[in-house]
Structures are given as structure tokens and as C-alpha cells.
Amino acid sequence: MLDLARALAQFPLLETERLVLRQPVLTDRDAVFAIMADPQVLRYFGQLPMEAPEQAERRLRNMSQSFEQKIGVRWAITLRETGEWLGSAGFWRFMSEHARAEIGYELAAAWWGKGIMVEALQVMLQFGFETLKLHSIEAQIHPLNHGSRRVLEKLGFHQEGLLRENYFDLVEQRFTDTAVFGLLGADWHLQHGVKD
């Protein structure tokens, strides 16, 4: 069983060489809207691009509420040098009795191909396995999202299955498949030379 109340007693600040992963706040609204209104970013998100800044505000409120209720934690991925919002990533759909969670993420198109998401997720996975004490982490992606697939594979995830036409994609206006990826804590610890 996960002890999320203890592990998430306060919002965790995570840092890497280039990035600061911090708590999203309402003043991030315009930065969130700029990314979530971009059809490129939303191409494989399964949702339509945002049309109004109020939608970004709602998204930020949902992130905050998720954390308060200990049902999810999502970080703002910001550039250490400037504080610029590059995207967000987090854990959700905690399966406490199985010590498992799902990750989700998005990144501004201008920052694709620069190793930002791999860097952000590395520190996030460390938090998931070492602090949250997760046994395994999953990610579900559109099978054609090759960028996301590459990120997951670089981090040691393996495709564990394919759910056929399980998701109605609002962008494509049809049912689409979902590729399910997973990473075991034991494999992550082995990769990083960390003893359980």
C-alpha cells in the first residue's frame, strides 16, 4: 500500500541540471494555454486544443485539487535559467494496493528533440520509485506517437500491450488504439545501481 499522505505531505520540488520541476500555480495560466492551444502538442493527446485561457486555468485548478486530494501530482517543467514553463508531467491513476501509477506529460513543441522530457522524467521516476515507493509505473500513448515512444524507451520502459480501439480520440474523431508501456522499480533500480 502506498502512503501518499506522507510522501506528498508537501509539494515536492525536483531539480536537474537544466530544469526545476515545481508546483503549478494559477499565474502559469498563459504559459499553459500557449502550449495546450497548439495543435502540434495536442496531436496525440486525444483532446482538442484549448480555445480560451479559462480552460488553462481550469486545468491548473484540477492539478492543484488532485494534489490536495492525494490522487495525483503534476509538476510544472521550467527552465532553471529563466523560469520559462516548458510543459508539465506527473503521476496520476494511483493504484495504491498494487503500488502502481500512470505517468502523463506534454512539452512545448519548441523544446522537442532537446532531451528535456527525458531529463524531467528521470528525476520524476526517481521520486516515484524512491519516495513514493512505487513497484511499477505505466504510460499509455497513441501508437503513432513516435516521439513519446522514444522518450519512454530511453528511460527503460517496455511496451507491455496494445489496447485495441479503447479510446475515442477527439482529434481524430474515431476510436484509436493505446500502446501500454511499463517500467518495474526493480529494473529501474538495476539501471541506476540503486539497492532496494
Q: Single out the residue of 162, 160, 168 nearest to residue 184, CA to CA.
A: 160
Residue at 179 is within a domain:
yes
Residue at 187 is within a domain:
yes
Q: What is the pLDDT of residue 43?
A: 93
- Quick check: 123 and 165 in contact, CB under 8 A? no
Q: What is the pLDDT of residue 18?
A: 98
Distance CA 68, CA 160 (A): 31
Mean pLDDT by 10 residues, the chain (196 residues): 91 98 98 97 93 98 97 97 98 96 97 97 97 97 96 98 96 95 96 75
- Quick check: 171 and 192 in contact, CB under 8 A? no
Q: What is the pLDDT of residue 67?
A: 97
Residue at 168 is within a domain:
yes
Residue at 62 is within a domain:
yes
Q: What is the pLDDT of residue 46?
A: 85
Residue at 124 is within a domain:
yes
- Sheet containing strand 174-184, edge to edge, reads 14-15, 19-22, 72-79, 85-95, 100-107, 136-141, 174-184, 158-169
Task: Give the structural domain span for 82.
Answer: 4-191
Residue at 162 is within a domain:
yes
- The total number of structural domains in the chain stands at 1
Residue at 155 is within a domain:
yes
CATH number at residue 37: 3.40.630.30
Residue at 196 is within a domain:
no
Query: Residue 106 is inside which H or E element, if any?
Result: strand 100-107
